[in-house]
Chains A and B, each alone.
Chain A
Amino acid sequence: MSAQLEIRDVSKAFGGVQAVARLSLEVPPGEILSVIGPNGAGKTTLLNMINGFYHPDRGRIALEGADITRHRPSQIAELGVARTFQNIALFKGMTVLDNLMLGRHVHMKSGVLASFAYWGLAQKEEVAHRRRVEDIIDFLKIQDLRRRPTGSLPYGLQKRVELGRALALDPKILLLDEPMGGMNQEEKEDMARFILDVNEEWGTTTILIEHDMGVVMDISDRVTVLDMGQKISSGSPDEVRSDPRVIKAYLGESRRA
């Protein structure tokens, strides 16, 4: 089993706060990995480092064997790492269609002059990528929302569109930061279904942060638990569930023990 994403001995501190400490993690291709842990455990910091949004103080991050530790976020996106955010980060002034077309940005080439002239190269490219975007629109069942500005959509649909924008990148690795945060039960089930379908249909490696334990235990191949920036447990959902260190981190220590 060779790892698609390899995180080795990575640390990140913000001032005096050690957000992530000597964390190592290997993610094989096609896996759905959940990262869980109490608030402030360093989960989002971990995603931000994979994205290149933060650079780790030490350690190494490699994507398919290539070192990406010091890459810029846009370079890492070009290599096929897509991301959704805990607080929705859609381009609110744009339509759903434009948001998804933006997801295709790294696969398109038209520069300023081609865009300026449009007819010819740029148009051909727009149409070709529109086809792919329409596939994603069909997949996520948001056909009726194409022309709606994303800012006007309800929360659950915004989350779905954001997933769509990430999928438009044709990602090798999908980073989802609380994709079900703030959703009702039905929306959560929809989102869980989409995540499983993406994984099944395109074999996309998925790393997700989620607080809903029911969802995490249901859809994950593997669960990693962080606490105070360190990995305290990792394994199948069942193993993690019964791990005393995990219970301790979440519930505190029993006085009798």
Chain B
Amino acid sequence: MIHRECGVLKTTYEADMALYPLPIARRAVGAVAALFFLVLPFSVHEYYLSIVNLVSIAVVGALGLNILVGYTGQISIGHGAFMSVGAYTAANFATRLHWPFWLSLPLGGLMAALVGAVVGIPSLRIKGLYLAIATLAGQLIIEWTINHVTWISGGVQASIEVPRPRLGGFEIASQREMYFFLLIFVVVAITGTLNLVRSRVGRAFVAIRDHDIAAELTGINIFRYKLTAFAISSFYAGITGVLYTYYLGIANYEQFQIVTSIDYLAMIIIGGLGSVLGSIFGAIFVTLLPILIRYAMEAFGGLVLSPQAVLNTIPNLRLILFGALIVFFLVVEPEGLNRLWRNIRNYFRLWPFAY
């Protein structure tokens, strides 16, 4: 039925090393792009677009964290804080110097990259759980600093309102405009990550993950590459923070607390470590889960509970289900949603004559 690889004869290394060597994959990517650029934004209500926008932001952050955790094999529980570094950097540039988003946004990313690289320095000596604790310390220190230094956080509420992003004379205000704004970042982040992990730098990251001693004796400077991984990953996190800030119109540390770090770790674990597609799946899943739970409870919760009890249950149910799902995935499919997708795809590869 779908003879995916049959008859695809590559005659150059360029073709063999292409991002999507198979015609069917190229067509599928084209169809998905058309869906997201042409169909979706003009066919759904603004409310649903706002949910898609949240997913878009999460995709960027999850990709970044996956570069560090999934590809390089390091861990960070400090990504929420790196996002806040990006957010407050951009917010300060935007409000004090009135710089446009296309300046404050990369600056937010760069500042987060710098801070991330510094927090990542212990990774040169310690691994695993110990590194997790070191980055957790980073999270807490940054959180505290932003909260208590009013020069950064802009006052008692520790939040800074930012103007809507403007491009030329055009203000990005509605959810639909914001959708396109964010979609561009998502496309760049996905393409860039795919490119990164299939070329020299990404291979070095995976080498460090798989066997650090062999990596070093193959000529990979572990010191430089671990810090590079932290910097790139934190750059993504910083951009994520800035995007949140522009999306919400306010930089607020409460968006970037330790729970956020853990949410993002959950995304890449549920989606699949070391996989670009997995990061996307994970971001969608973790962002939509609380919304779906709320819908489900509002629709069916009234059947067994009083309206007040329904309201009380929703936030707790989210936490319970969340924890349960992480455990479920770690036990049943440690390679996450991406693996499930691959299994489905491989099943249909030779369907219906799989012999």
Whether the pair A111, B218 counts as a contact (CB closer than 8 A) is no
A90 to B214, CA, bound (A): 7
B199 contacts partner chain A, Cβ-Cβ < 8 Å:
yes
- Is the CB of A112 closer than 8 A to any CB of chain B? yes
**Known contacts A110-B200, A117-B195, A94 near B210 by CB under 8 Å:** yes
**Contact yes or no, A105 B220, CB < 8 A:** yes
A74 with B220: CB separation less than 8 A: yes
Q: Does B219 contact A (CB under 8 A)?
A: yes
Report A-chain residues with C-beta under 8 Å of the C-beta of B228.
Answer: 112
Total count of chain A residues near the partner, CB < 8 A: 42
User: B residues near A, CB below 8 A?
Assistant: 12-14, 16-17, 192, 195-196, 198-204, 206-207, 209-211, 213-222, 228, 232, 274
The answer to the question of A22 belonging to the interface, with a C-beta cut-off of 8 Å to chain B, is: no
Q: Are B201 and A110 in contact (CB under 8 A)?
A: yes
Least CB distance, B236 to chain A, in whole angstroms: 11
Give CA–CA (A109, B204) in the complex, Å.
12
Q: In the complex, what's the smallest C-beta–C-beta distance from A165 to chain B, in angstroms? A: 7
* C-alpha gap A214/B209 in the complex (Å): 38
Contact between B13 and A127 (Cβ–Cβ < 8 Å)?
A: yes
Looking at A3-11, A77-85, A180-188, A237-245, the stretch in contact with chain B turns out to be A77-85
Bound together, the chains give a CA A51 to CA B218 distance in angstroms of 10
Given A77-B217, A103-B218, A112-B228, does the pair A130, B203 have CB atoms closer than 8 Å? no
Write out the residue numbers on chain A whose beta carbons fall within 8 Å of the beta carbon of B219: 74, 77-78, 105-106, 169
Partner of B204, one of A72, A105, A122, A125: A105
Residue A53 at the B interface, CB < 8 A? yes
Q: Does A102 contact B (CB under 8 A)?
A: yes
B-side contacts of A89, CB under 8 Å: 211, 213-214
Name the residue on B nearest A122 (C-beta).
Answer: B199
The answer on a CB contact under 8 Å between B196 and A131 is: no
Of B14, B192, B196, B219, the most chain A CB neighbours within 10 A belong to B219
Known contacts being A90-B211, A94-B210, A130-B13, is A115 close to B218, with CB within 8 Å? no
Alpha-carbon separation in the docked complex, A105 to B204 (Å): 8
Q: Which residues of A contact B217 (CB under 8 A)?
A: 51, 53, 73-74, 77, 82-83
Whole-angstrom CA separation of A29 from B196 in the bound complex: 38
If A72-B221, A116-B195 touch, whether A91 touches B211 (CB-CB below 8 Å) is yes
Tell me whether A235 is interfacial, beta carbon within 8 Å: no
**Does A155 count as interface, using CB distance less than 8 angstroms?**
no
Q: Quick one: which of B12, B192, B203 has the most chain A CB within 10 A?
A: B203
Chain A residue numbers with a CB within 8 Å of B13 are 126-127, 130-131
Smallest beta-carbon distance B249→chain A, Å:
30
Interface residue SS majority, chain A: helix
Q: Are A122 and B195 in contact (CB under 8 A)?
A: yes
Contacts of A51 in B (CB 8 A): 217
* Complex alpha-carbon distance, A115 and B203, angstroms: 10
Task: Known contacts A72-B221, A74-B219; decide if A122 and B206 are in contact (CB<8 Å).
Answer: no
- A positions within 8 Å CB-CB of B: 51, 53, 72-74, 77-78, 82-83, 85, 89-94, 98, 101-103, 105-106, 108-112, 114-119, 122-123, 125-127, 130-131, 165, 169
A166 to chain B, nearest CB (A): 8
User: Are B210 and A91 in touch, CB under 8 angstroms?
Assistant: yes
- Say how far A172's CB is from chain B's closest CB, in angstroms: 13
Q: List 17 A-B contacts (CB under 8 A).
A: A72-B221, A89-B214, A90-B211, A91-B207, A92-B210, A92-B211, A101-B203, A102-B203, A103-B218, A105-B207, A112-B201, A115-B195, A116-B192, A122-B199, A123-B17, A126-B17, A169-B219
Choice from A73, A90, A109, A115 contacting B202 with Cβ under 8 Å: A115
Residue among B200, B203, B220 facing the most chain A CB atoms (10 A cut-off): B200
**A124 — nearest CB in chain B belongs to which residue?**
B14
The answer to whether A94 touches B221, judged by C-beta atoms less than 8 angstroms apart, is no
Q: How far is the CA of A169 from the CA of B204 in the complex (A)?
A: 14
Further contacts, 11 of them, CB under 8 A, given A94-B206, A94-B207, A112-B201: A73-B217, A74-B219, A85-B214, A90-B210, A93-B209, A102-B215, A105-B220, A110-B200, A119-B195, A125-B200, A165-B218
Q: For the complex formed, measure the closest distance between the CB of A146 and the CB atoms of chain B, giving whole angstroms.
A: 9
Nearest Cβ in chain B — how far from A75, in angstroms? 8
The complex places the Cα of A74 from the Cα of B207 at a distance, in Å, of 13
Most buried by B among A51, A83, A89: A89
Q: Which 6 A-B pairs have the closest CB atoms?
A: A77-B219, A118-B195, A106-B219, A89-B214, A91-B210, A115-B199
Given A91-B210, A94-B210, A127-B17, A105 and B199 contact (CB-CB distance below 8 Å): no
| Contact across chains for A122 and B200 when beta carbons are under 8 A apart | yes
- Complexed CA–CA distance, A92 and B13 (Å): 24
* Contact of A102 with B207 in the complex, beta carbons under 8 Å: yes
Residues of A with C-beta under 8 A to B206:
91, 93-94, 98
B25–chain A nearest beta-carbon distance, Å: 15
From B196, B209, B210, B222, A74 is in contact (CB under 8 Å) with: B222
